[in-house]
Structure 1
Amino acid sequence: MGTPVNIIVGSHVWVEDPEVAWLDGEVTEIKGRDATIITTDGKTIIADISGIYPKDTEAPPAGVDDMTKLAYLHEPGVLYNLACRFSLNEIYTYTGNILIAVNPFRRLPHLYDIHMMEQYKGAAFGELSPHLFAVADTCYRAMINDHGSQSILVSGESGAGKTETTKMLMRYLAFMGGRSGTEGRTVEQQVLESNPVLEAFGNAKTVKNNNSSRFGKFVEIQFDKNWKISGAAIRTYLLERSRVCQVSDPERNYHCFYMLCAAPQEDVKKYKLGDPKTFRYLNQSNCYDVANVDDAKEYLETRNAMDIVGINQVEQNAIFRVMRNHATTFKAAELLMCNEKSLEDSLCKRVIVTPDGNITKPLDPDSAAFSRDALAKTVYSRLFDWIVDKINSSIGQDQNAACLIGVLDIYGFESFKINSFEQLCINFTNEKLQQHFNQHVFKMEQEEYTKEEIDWSYVEFVDNQDVLDLIEKKPGGIIALLDEACMFPKSTHDTFAQKMYQTYKAHKRFSKPKLA
């Protein structure tokens, strides 16, 4: 938690508060482990001395633009500094070469215009106010000067602003590496226009975020030997398939379904659409609209973006046919252009293969509904993959690229009352990123200090490697146990749970729920 310091009577400190996280005040008395603090708003708090932190009384009222300038680099000091800057509309702050962004939840176009890009072009890192253009510019220069590929990691919890940040980073790289006066659609134009298409099919309104990415994305922007953009590739991960069939209040399904329902009248007729309230997969929640979002306008913008990324009108019509929520097997078969009887049989019957021949058994209604949902999820997932492949082949990859810059935007950490397996995968991915961060910011730096015999005080940090091992280690990790359980025909949720309780009973990072 930063520099160790003695807390004495008269010390200015931060003390934890359940409502506002931290309050500042002065220590008036210390008895054993208990300290009495009078806060600046007049409260008297008694707290354990180990839970209070020194306040930097000489810090400027406007905060500092780089956290490494703080006298004490602890949680209350960091949060207070960010709050001071945010109150002055400064949403960016450095911690060394890491940029922290605080989501303003409003558009700030002046921060990202061409004039701002021109200012950061070639400026030394830290010379101007903190900005994500400075990070992108440093990345571009490092690629040129070191002749090496680079990556920018954009991480944070759901709703932190990762997707918007990624778009701005890509705009800056397109500005630096774009080709002026190129005829037709340029690579950088297509890369930027891939965003609205992927958002339409891969983003949804969640509890925390009106435009939440429900998939992970790694964009590789390829550069030729003149450092101009020569190709690109979009890799996607972990699309949240379950959302297609299962939506809880107050969330929505993927944006594209609502856009299609709000399309111009001729398109609504063509795809046999109407009010989203009439469709089973859309009416499970009572949320059909998103504040300040015009679905009809978004539909037209998405179709325009599809034109730019090389998805033609025939392909667009096919996409919307596949997306159409199925009311009856007749309509589903008609839209999917398949045989109605075959479709009905595949959903309502199962075939058991025996040595004496095949036995066809009808499914009960619940099992048939399960088959229907599985088909819908698989079709949507394949459609999403097809769109990504189409965008990639349209943009084109440069097999002879000199270097690339990768921008990683994965969906953020979330924790609900009930978390699905997909949520475990999402949160596990975030933990892997955190370990990468720990590795580079704490472990490697501190090893360097020791090697160079620099006099320094060790910075404590929570190392999550044991959590990662618990989940992913082979053999014996949770995922390995789950793989094993899936191979045994008599496995159930309960037998899997019992196996985990047995295997990890002594593991400090695993606890058995007190209730069933």
Structure 2
Amino acid sequence: MVRNPKPKAEALHWFPILQHFVISQPSGTSVNIIMGSNVWVEDPQLSWVDGQVTKITGENAEVQTSNGKTVVTTLSKLYPKDMEAPPGGVDDMTKLSYLHEPGVLQNLSARYQLNEIYTYTGNILIAINPFQRLTHLYDSHMMTQYKGAPLGELSPHVFAVADVAFRAMVNEGKSNSILVSGESGAGKTETTKMLMRYLAYLGGRAATEGRTVEQQVLESNPVLEAFGNAKTVRNNNSSRFGKFVEIQFDNKGRISGAAIRTYLLERSRVCQISDPERNYHCFYLLCAAPTEVTEKYKLGKPNTFHYLNQSNCYELVGVNDAYEYLATRRAMDIVGISAQEQDAIFRVVAAILHLGNINFAKGQEIDSSVPKDDKAKFHLKMAAELLMCDAEGLQDALCKRMMITPEEVIKRPLDPQSAAVSRDGLAKTIYSRLFDWIVDKINVSIGQDQASKSLIGVLDIYGFESFKTNSFEQFCINYTNEKLQQHFNQHVFKMEQEEYTKEAIDWSYIEFVDNQDVLDLIEKVLSNYHTSSRSITIFFFLSLGFMFSGMPIFLSSALLVNLDHCSE
């Protein structure tokens, strides 16, 4: 029997074939199922369970499962079980007789039970989070073993992927990218660190040359994690941003520079979190800072701040925020952020916490707002002081909307609800720009080699997301993943099979889920709907219906509902 394994899986692999591991599930099996066949059948609790066909009636079959149940289902929903597969699984899933979902899951599960967390699918690597330290897999001895070894000669390993990328760059002059993707908690960030360590081992310089580029890149991780990571439902240290590390090499294959580029920081988390998640780590670290720091910034416990107390989770098991605050300050020293700059960074973090505690009440004018009470005025004063701006000017910015025309500047009051939205918008913008400044500062400290023509990029980006409440950020994240998936499909399935067709090679066509329809739905241009004299909204919906009516993923019924609303 096969459960959908608790460990999260991630896949990575070297450019141009970008990973995103997808199990292609055909609509039916082409293998002849007969009486006595060993098969896999779906199970509501276990996901898949193995069994034997005991009866076939037309298109239906009766299966006696290994957990003692009798299941009646259609033949098209049965998948043959590979009875010749070794008990411990195979290290490359292309060796499986049947590459279907239950077969893949069974193979990954069997290997995971033996602490074999890496498995190839051709030249793609699947990694499963072991949720424990397997230090023997990443020591210097293992690095030595994989150095220069052809892919597939040794057991599957993240070092092998990095080594292939490095050899292709050195021997063939090809720059490469390694994509690390997967759902939250899959271990993407840790895998990225392992890749960086191995590349530093291959292209590093002697310690006598001072603090090297690779050391600074590795030591920037604690800083980025403090300001870009947070606890989520699935992961206590989830990266809430995408990161592309570009490592530059000289003509001798030695690391000569690096650049860190970040994408899609989850801005909404600054102002809105759900239980049992947390905001970004830095807020809690600052609240746990030494007394002289918290007194200087007039900070209390996390539960006294609106941006932190929307969730009841304030501490992480096994994590000492007071210690992590000091560790983050030390990491900032290493990456070249001065003590004065560090104070400025945490002053801004404190200001954001005070901003969140500014509540509003109705003002004397219609639809106007003012700080609700003395407590709100105190937090307004502290936020202005920490941001080094005028308190009255800050209040005006929060409680009024400014419109600038060629002739004059018009200020219109905001009601309390709109003022709160304005406050949250300011907090998100400040935090986002602070994060960008930290990344830029790290890049300046590391230094880039403008003359380098050889590079290896490592992309660490979160995978598809679907929450109870989704925002525009989830749309952007999922759209990015759809683009990566299409790139993968294009190189692994489409281009390869087109080549087979051109060369008249006899092969079995590989079914795969093509997401081009999804991308067309988002990207395709609707021309001229804005030029119509009819209602723009109604014409827009009609244009959508006409353009995408042939797509099975497009729901025209939703359009009809919206058209009804438009006509009211």
Give the alignment's TM-score, normalised by structure 2. Answer: 0.84
Structure-2 residue corresponding to 1:487: none
Aligned equivalent of 1:330: 381
- Quick one: structure 1 residues 505 and 13, their matched pair in 2 at CA, closer, same or farther if it must change by over 3 Å? same
Question: Structure 1's 315 and 355: CA in aligned 2 closer, same or farther, altered over 3 A?
Answer: closer
- Opposite residue 464 of structure 1, the aligned amino acid is N
Q: Name which of 225, 229, 236 aligns with 1:210.
A: 236
Q: Residues 20-419 of structure 1 correspond to what in structure 2 (within 5 A)?
A: 20-324=46-350, 325-326=353-354, 327=357, 328-353=379-404, 357-419=408-470
- Most deviating of 358-367 and 464-473: 358-367
- Cα deviation, residue 449, structure 1: 2.5
* 1:187-216 residue CA offsets vs partner (Å, 9 max, x unmatched): 001110111111111111111221111111
Deviations 1:106-154 (A, max 9, x none): 2222211212111111122111111101111111111111111011011
Equivalence for 2:486: 435
Deviation of 1:495 (Å): 11
- Paired with 1:217 and 1:249, the residues of 2 have a C-alpha distance of 26
**Most deviating of 287-296 and 163-172:** 287-296
Q: CA deviation at 1:453?
A: 2.8
What letter matches 2:57 in structure 1?
K
2:507 aligned with 1:463:
no
Name the SS of the counterpart of 1:24 in structure 2.
Answer: strand
Superposition deviation, residue 357 in structure 1: 3.8
CA distance in 1, matches of 2:553, 2:53: 36
What is the RMSD computed on CA atoms of the aligned residues? 2.4
Distance of 1:385 and 1:15 partners within structure 2: 50
Deviation of the 1:100 alpha carbon: 0.2
- Matched to 1:171, the amino acid is R
- Tell me how far apart the structure 1 counterparts of residues 485 and 434 of structure 2 sit (CA, whole Å): 31
Q: Deviations over 1:161-191 (max 9, x none)?
A: 1111111101110111110133332100111
Q: Runs of 5+ in structure 2 lacking a partner?
A: 1-24, 358-378, 563-568
Partners of 1:311 and 1:48 in 2: how far apart? 64
* Matched residue SS, 1:410: strand
How big is the shift at 1:15? 0.7
The answer (yes or no) to whether the contact 1:159–1:412 under 8 Å persists in 2 is no
Deviation of 1:502 (Å): 8.1
Counterparts of 1:496 and 1:300 in 2: how far apart (Å)? 55
What's the CA shift string for 1:3-61, capped at 9, x where partnerless?
A: 83111111111111111111111111111110111112221111111111111100000
Local SS of the residue matching 1:401: coil
In structure 2, distance between residues paired with 1:359 and 1:449: 67
TM-score normalised over the length of structure 1? 0.93
SS at match of 1:456: coil
Give the C-alpha shift of residue 349 in structure 1.
Answer: 1.4
Q: Which runs of 5+ in 1 are unaligned?
A: 485-489
Contact 2:138–2:194 (CA under 8 A) maintained in structure 1? yes
Distance 1:127 1:263 in 2: 50
2:362 alignment partner in structure 1: none
2:498 match: 447
Distance 1:504 1:286, change over 3 A: farther
Code of the aligned partner of 2:234: K
**Counterpart of 1:508?**
552
The DSSP-based 3-state class of the residue aligned with 1:155 is: strand
Deviation string 1:56-97 (CA, Å, 9 cap, x unpaired) is 100000100000111111111100000000011110000111
Larger mean CA deviation between 2-11 and 454-463 belongs to 2-11
Q: Quote the Cα distance in structure 2 between the aligned partners of 1:81 and 1:113.
A: 26
Q: Is the 8 A contact 1:185 1:308 kept in 2?
A: no
CA contact (8 A) 2:183 2:463 kept: yes
Q: Distance in 2 between matches of 1:162 and 1:103?
A: 9
For 2:549 and 2:524, locate their aligned partners in 1 and report how far apart those are by CA, in whole Å. Answer: 17
The answer on whether the counterparts of 1:54 and 1:72 sit within 8 Å (CA) in structure 2 is: yes
Counterpart residue type for residue 303 of structure 1: R
8 Å contact from structure 2 (residues 526, 543) kept in 1: no
Provide the rounded CA distance (Å) in 2 between the counterparts of 1:318 and 1:262: 17
Q: Is the 8 A contact 2:240 2:266 kept in 1?
A: yes
C-alpha deviations, 1:374-400, integer Å up to 9, x for none? 110000000001011111111011011
Is 1:422–2:466 an aligned residue pair?
no
How far apart are the structure 1 equivalents of 2:444 and 2:383? Answer: 29
Secondary structure at 1:290 match in 2:
coil
